[in-house]
Amino acid sequence: MIRFSKSKLNTYLSCPMKYYLHYELGMRALKTSTTLVEGSAIHHLVESGLVYGRYVTDVVEEASRRFWEEHPFERCAYETEDEYLAAQELCLRQSRIFLDELGPLPARSMELELQANLIHPLTREINNEVSLIGYLDLLLVAQDGTPYLIDLKTVARSPRDRMAHVALELSLYGYLYNQPFTEMDFARIPVALIYLIRTKQPKVHWDESTRSLPHFVEVFEICEKVAGLINQGCFWKNPGMHCSWCDQQSLCYADETAAIATFGEEKWQLFLLDQASREENLLMSQVVNF
């Protein structure tokens, strides 16, 4: 069975080879990139402040302490411990600014786990070969009980507007939240991307939209098609600007020194063996077809 998360789906759709290297072959960087670890830290601090800040006065500081305990210097890609400590202070300071800008929100849950089998919203057809899982950053609930599904994004510059109208992750969260489709509800679910913009003067930007039945049908169709391609072994490179921030770039570029530094000698050898095996299988298929 294939279990899709928003990360898995978006990874395959952006570059199938990255999906293969990361999820199929298990090529994971030895250390977490500074951008990723700081983004995760700010997410956790802001979520904690919104959900628990009205009950615990020092919740953001405590959330920061626990987060960095779980992400020690040795597992992060900072060059020096001074940089590592400075990042902690920066993330804490920026998180406080973001919380001040957001103000009190009716936050019910943070990092809410949602999972389900792949079910067609109309026909109730179940694909037993695919399941879905998602971790919703924030669930807001209005006074009238209306749910509001929120995905946080940390970015270094002002984002492109109206991305909430097309973001697959918001469709996935809406799909999972509406499970198990026992009674068809054609209502539109409010969703939003909240951008935490890490510029010199940190600021917050809301990008709002809705999700409804057509989006949920689209989720079903995308998941079925992507799962089918994966099962057929369809993995190809899709080069572009995203290569510049991809952990796997050293593998695609055949940069042995950088690859070993990123993944370690053992993983590099695994990659070489896999490449040789794929080439051999390709040659064998040509012989059979001939």
Q: What is the pLDDT of residues 243-289, one digit of tens each?
A: 999 999 999 999 999 999 999 999 999 999 999 999 998 887 765 55
Q: Are residues 79 and 59 in the same domain?
A: yes
In this structure, are 133 and 93 located in the same domain? no
Same domain as 38, residue 71: yes
Give 191's strand partners: 149, 209
Residue 261 CA, chain-centre distance (Å), reads 24
pTM above 0.85, yes or no: yes
Q: Do 174 and 220 lie in a common domain?
A: yes
290: in domain:
no
- Are residues 142 and 226 part of one domain? yes
Same domain, 44 and 134: no
Give the three-class secondary structure for 32: strand
In a domain, 139, yes or no: yes
Instruction: Please choose, from the candidates 42, 35, 47, the residue with its C-alpha nearest in 3D space to the C-alpha of residue 76.
Output: 35
Domain termination site, one of 211, 231, 251: 231
Q: Residue 46 falls within a domain, yes or no?
A: yes
Do the domain assignments include residue 284?
A: no
pLDDT digits (tens, 9 = 90+) for 2-40: 999 999 999 999 999 999 999 999 999 999 999 999 999
Same domain, 165 and 121: yes
Cα separation, 9 vs 206, in Å, equals 24
Structural domain boundaries, residue 74: 29-102
Residues 86, 124 within the same domain: no
Question: Has residue 197 been placed in a domain?
Answer: yes
Q: Is 107 helix (H, G, I), strand (E, B) or coil?
A: strand
Number of structural domains (the chain) is: 2
